[in-house]
Amino acid sequence: MALKANIIIDQGSDFTYTFELSDDNDQLIDLTGYTGRAAFRKHYTSLQVYTFGVDIDEVNSEVTLSMNAATSSNIAYGRYVYDCELTDTSNVVSRIVEGIVTITPRVRK
């Protein structure tokens, strides 16, 4: 089951969100060889998809989602749905986090 986490991105700003992965016994998960992908859209069936950069820190069992200011400045403010999936070395895909992305509007353009 995926972790539920809502995130906020300030329109026109750089964004990073890091989370640590552990198992049911609070042991860090070995992420060696994993790859990741993450995206959001206005609703589950929207054709417009925005992607996050996904960085995996194998040593600390951390996954970081990121987006630069140039990208976030071109996304309309509002609420979106997102998820992040990891693929292990056997090509097994797991959704690890999902939730709502809120893009807050900026005053200056």
Whether 2 and 97 have beta carbons less than 8 Å apart is answered as yes
Is residue 109 situated within a structural domain? no
Name the residue with tokens 């329109």: 11
Count of domains observed in the chain? 1
Is residue 59 situated within a structural domain? yes
CA atoms of 30 and 48, how far apart (whole Å):
33
CATH number of the domain bearing residue 57: 2.60.40.10
Whether 97 and 83 have beta carbons less than 8 Å apart is answered as yes
What CA–CA distances, in Å, run from 31 to 13, 25, 56, 83, 91?
Answer: 29, 16, 7, 18, 13
Q: What is the pLDDT along the chain (109 residues), one digit of tens a residue?
A: 678 999 999 999 999 999 999 988 999 999 999 999 999 999 999 999 999 999 999 999 999 999 999 999 999 999 999 999 999 999 999 999 999 999 999 887 6
What pLDDT is attached to residue 23?
86
Is residue 30 situated within a structural domain? yes
Range of the domain at 44: 3-104
Is residue 75 situated within a structural domain? yes
Is residue 93 situated within a structural domain? yes
